[in-house]
Each structure stands twice: as C-alpha cells, then as structure tokens.
Amino acid sequence: MAKWMAIALVAGIAAFILLGRDDKAEAVRSCIEKAGATVEESPNAKQIFPYLLAIGAGTSVQSMPELDDASVYGVRYGDGEALLFFARDGEDAGSLEQTLVGFGAGGGVDVPSSRAGKVLLVWTVPVSGAASSPLDACIE
C-alpha cells in the first residue's frame, strides 16, 4: 500500500512540474539563445522596475500590476541589451509595452520592442543596425 502511495505521489509531482511548465516561454528563450544571445532570469527586476521608471520620470512610484505574474529576463545580444517579459496574458504584455515605449518617448528616446501574445522584448540598449531581427523573429 505504501509503495503505491509513493508512486502516486511521485506521479503527481511529475505531472505538476510538466503541466506547470510554460512551453511558449521555453521555446522563446531557446530560440533567443540559439540566435546567439544570453538570457538570464532577473528575479528582482519586478521590484526595482517601478522605482526606476519613477526616478526617470520624476514622479512618484506607481504600482505596476502587470508585473505581478510576469517573469523577467535580461538579454544580451552583441552590443545590445533587452528585457524579456513573459506576462500573465496579452493584455498585461500590451500594457507593459505601452508603459515602456511611452516612458522612452517622454524622454525623447525610441524604445524598440517586439510583442506577440504574452511575450514582450524591449530593447534598453538597442543593437547597432538591424542586427536584432533574429531575436525579434523569436518573439513572433
């Protein structure tokens, strides 16, 4: 009896791990790495990000609920750097994109981005020329 309970427990844990995985996120990260970029998780970015935006805009810190369920990664590709967001859904990704692009525009800076569904890639230091297109293709 205990043997069957142990097998059921292990099967349940395995199912939770496999079903909880985000295959789209894994495919995008893999594609970006195959294109020659490095991708590193940025677990503290969600806490720091609203403060950086507030400092840059000279305003008070605003809550950013679209970051609550998001995963954030730092991406380095050639001489460029980007942030890769896996938001809860397409609406949150769109809101993040609008906030970041608007923030850049307010400072007179073009902030290139690519978004498909809940995946958003925002260039904080754009790559020279059109070299970012292999990474942008991973998002679409």
Ordered per-residue pLDDT tens for the chain, 140 residues: 433 333 333 333 333 333 334 677 889 999 999 999 999 998 777 667 666 666 766 676 677 888 888 899 999 998 889 999 999 999 999 998 988 888 778 778 888 889 999 999 998 888 876 666 788 889 87
- Determine the pLDDT at residue 87: 93
- Determine the pLDDT at residue 7: 35
- Determine the pLDDT at residue 46: 67
Mind giving me the DSSP string for the chain?
Answer: -HHHHHHHHHHHHHHHHHHHS-HHHHHHHHHHHHTT-EEEE-TTHHHHHHHHHHHHHTSPPPP-GGGTT-EEEEEEETTEEEEEEE-SSHHHHHHHHHHHHHHHHHTT----EEEETTEEEEEEEPPSTTTTHHHHHHH-
pTM listed for this prediction: 0.75
- Determine the pLDDT at residue 66: 83
